[in-house]
Amino acid sequence: MAKVDADQYVDIMRFYAHQMSLLDAQDVTGYVGTFTEDGVTHHVHRGEKLEGSAAILAHATKALPHYRTVVVRHWNDHYLVDETEDGEGFTVSYGSLVTLTDGDGRVRFESTFAVTDVLVLVDDGLRVRSRTIVRDRPAER
Amino acid sequence: MAKVDADQYVDIMRFYAHQMSLLDAQDVTGYVGTFTEDGVTHHVHRGEKLEGSAAILAHATKALPHYRTVVVRHWNDHYLVDETEDGEGFTVSYGSLVTLTDGDGRVRFESTFAVTDVLVLVDDGLRVRSRTIVRDRPAER
Amino acid sequence: MAKVDADQYVDIMRFYAHQMSLLDAQDVTGYVGTFTEDGVTHHVHRGEKLEGSAAILAHATKALPHYRTVVVRHWNDHYLVDETEDGEGFTVSYGSLVTLTDGDGRVRFESTFAVTDVLVLVDDGLRVRSRTIVRDRPAER
């Protein structure tokens, strides 16, 4: 896989800053707009695959009431970026730590995750074509 | 608002690495030196506005004894950067998770925050002209 | 010390993304391969110095069984990068928060740390020549 250059890498960092800001602001319409129309999210650890941005939006909208009493934030690190083999996009892998802050300012943690995305370039920027999320599980319990 | 280029974005990342290192080292003089003379910090959630670097320094110095028994660290993510409308600086928004580590190595969390800064370019680099800090609050308690 | 340019800074960010991914995947052979043959790790807080990649590998391999029941992740922030005085490499300082996630998805924290590395450029990329790790300790207990 070809290595991306510094400009592309920074563009990708900024894409995530933007997308995660939308997600953490619970702006589900804005968030889903960062996926392609045929975008897919796959929560491997709960065997849930959502195909197409309409399905992602419906699912996210339904989940919103569960998050009325907390602020959710995603803290990502160690983005590994490679061009996809067809040269039309990027594969990006990273770790994600999810915090839930309640009305008293207390912070809880909703596990840690390994995420792998395929990003594609469309007219006006990057979009997620697929997102695969795996909750961290040790080798032994 | 105009988009900044990769070099500017990286410069801004490095500014924060430097500024947060000073803050986390409790080097209040160094930290306050990263603000303009007329710099402002606004802690919205406690209704506290400090105007001018002398006021910021006095406040930070007074707070130091509270932090003798912990190491404070700020973990920031998802920097959104835009040029200001006058083209003289940058508006930067990000999330911040604050940890307090005690003498036994135990880590506590001092809530999560949304921060919005206005940075300006002066002779020898970037400075904060204003910093607005809002503690995360869910829609409902 | 000379300032590195944006391309070098991004290269260094990517080096850490790669190295930390290997470490967090418990790929000790891959991880140790990111050090030079004469690479050194120094855990100052426990007075432990490992000299040479064979010693680092032996130590990491021995520690693996302790981490069978957790996923370890390192969350780094605020990378300060300078060229070394001899111009042959980089000094990089940063903070590190270590999480341990168990089989039920619960997240614990293994203190916070200050890390200082010396990186050198070899034929095919960056390598760590020395890593100095200090567990955060407040001024007073």
CB contact under 8 A, C6 and A9: no
**SS3 state of residue B6:** helix
CA distance A122 to C46: 51
Question: B1, B80 in Cβ contact below 8 A?
Answer: no
Of the partner residues B11, B20, B70, the one whose CB lies closest to the CB of residue C78:
B20
- Measured from the Cβ of residue A75, the count of other Cβ atoms closer than 10 Å reads 23
Chain C interface disruption, residue of B21, B27, B69, B74, most C CBs within 10 A: B21
For residue B2, what pLDDT is reported?
58
Is the separation of the CB atoms in B20 and C93 below 8 Å?
no
Q: Which of A10, A78, A138 sits opposite C20 (nearest CB)?
A: A78
Under the banding of pLDDT at 50, 70 and 90, the label for residue C2 is low
Cβ separation of C101 and A139 shorter than 8 Å? Answer: no
Residues of A in Cβ contact (< 8 Å) with B79: 17
Which residues in chain C are contacts of B102 at CB distance < 8 A? 138, 141
Residues found in chain C: 141
User: Concatenated DSSP letters for A52-103?
Assistant: SHHHHHHHHHHHGGGGTTEEEEEEEEEEEEEE-TTSSEEEEEEEEEEEEEET
Interface of B with A (CB under 8 A): 6, 9-10, 75, 77-81, 93-95, 97, 109-112, 135-141
Task: Report how far residue C36's alpha carbon sits from residue C30's, in angstroms, rounded to the nearest whole number.
Answer: 12
Residue A39: how many other CB atoms lie within 10 Å:
22
Which residues in chain C touch residue A80, judged by CB atoms under 8 angstroms apart? 14, 17-18, 21
Residue C123 confidence (pLDDT): 83
Contacts of A7 by beta carbon, 8 Å cutoff, 6+ apart? B6
Of C74, C78, C71, C115, which Cα lies nearest the Cα of C98? C74
Where do we find the tokens 């990329």?
A: C125
CB–CB contact A97 C73 (8 Å): yes
C137 neighbors C45 (Cβ within 8 angstroms) = yes
Determine the distance in angstroms separating the CA of B85 from the nearest CA of chain C, rounded to an integer. Answer: 25
The helix (H) or strand (E) run that includes residue B10 is helix B6-24
DSSP collapsed to 3 states, B67-79: HCCEEEEEEEEEE
| CB of A74 closer than 8 Å to CB of A24 | yes
Extract the tokens encoding A116: 């792998």
Residue holding tokens 């190491």?
Answer: B71
pLDDT at residue C124 in the model: 80
Bridge partners, C131 (sequence order): C41, C117
| CATH class label, C6-135 | alpha beta
Whether residue A21 is predicted with pLDDT greater than 90 in this model: the reply is yes
Distance (Å, whole) CA B9 – CA B75: 18
Question: Per-residue pLDDT tens for B13-55?
Answer: 999 999 999 999 999 999 999 999 999 999 999 899 999 999 9
Residue A19 pLDDT: 98
Q: Which of A9, A97, A136 sits opposite C14 (nearest CB)?
A: A9
| Cα C20 from Cα C68, distance rounded (Å) | 18
Q: How far apart are CA A30 and CA A22, in angstroms?
A: 6
Task: For C101-122, write each residue's pLDDT tens digit.
Answer: 999 999 999 999 999 999 999 9
Alpha helix segments (H runs only) across chain A:
6-24, 28-32, 53-63
| pLDDT tens per residue, range C7-34 | 999 999 999 999 999 999 999 999 999 9
Please count the other Cβ atoms lying within 10 Å of the Cβ belonging to residue B23: 20
Kind and range of the H or E run holding A40:
strand A35-43
What is the DSSP code (8-state) at residue B26? T
Å between A139 CA and nearest CA of chain C: 5
Q: Which residues of A touch C67 (CB under 8 A)?
A: 138
Strands B70-83 and B48-51: unpaired
Contacts of B140 in chain A (CB under 8 A): 68-69, 103
Identity at A55, one-letter amino acid code: A
User: C13 vs A11, A78, B133, C131, CA distance in Å?
Assistant: 14, 8, 27, 16
pLDDT digits (tens, 9 = 90+) for A24-73: 999 999 999 999 999 999 999 989 999 999 999 999 999 999 899 999 99
- Is C3 in a helix, a strand, or coil? coil
Interface of C with A (CB under 8 A): 6-7, 10-11, 13-14, 16-18, 20-21, 24, 67-71, 73-76, 99, 101-103, 105-107
Q: Give the chain A residue nearest B81 (alpha carbons).
A: A14
C-alpha dist (Å) from residue C133 to A97, B68, B103, C14, C40: 23, 21, 16, 20, 11
Average pLDDT for residues B106-120, to the nearest whole number? Answer: 97
Chain A's closest residue to B77, CA to CA, is A75
Q: Which chains have at least 3 CB atom pairs separated by less than 8 Å from chain A? A: B, C
CA dihedral C99, C101, C105, C109 (to 10 degrees): -40
Q: Are A3 and A82 in contact (CB under 8 A)?
A: yes
List CB contacts (< 8 A) between B21 and chain C.
78, 80, 93, 95
- Band of pLDDT at residue A2, cut at 50, 70 and 90: low
To the nearest whole Å, the CA of A70 is away from the closest chain B CA by 5
Q: What is the pLDDT of residues C58-116, one digit of tens each?
A: 999 999 998 999 999 999 999 999 999 998 899 999 999 999 999 999 999 999 999 99
Q: Is the pLDDT of residue A132 over 70?
A: yes
Main-chain dihedrals φ then ψ at residue B128, nearest 5 degrees: -85, 125
Residue B87 structure tokens: 């083209």
Residue A1, pLDDT > 70, answer: no
Residues with Cβ within 8 Å of residue A99, at least 6 apart in sequence: A72, A73, A75, A107, A108, A109, A110, B97, B109, B112
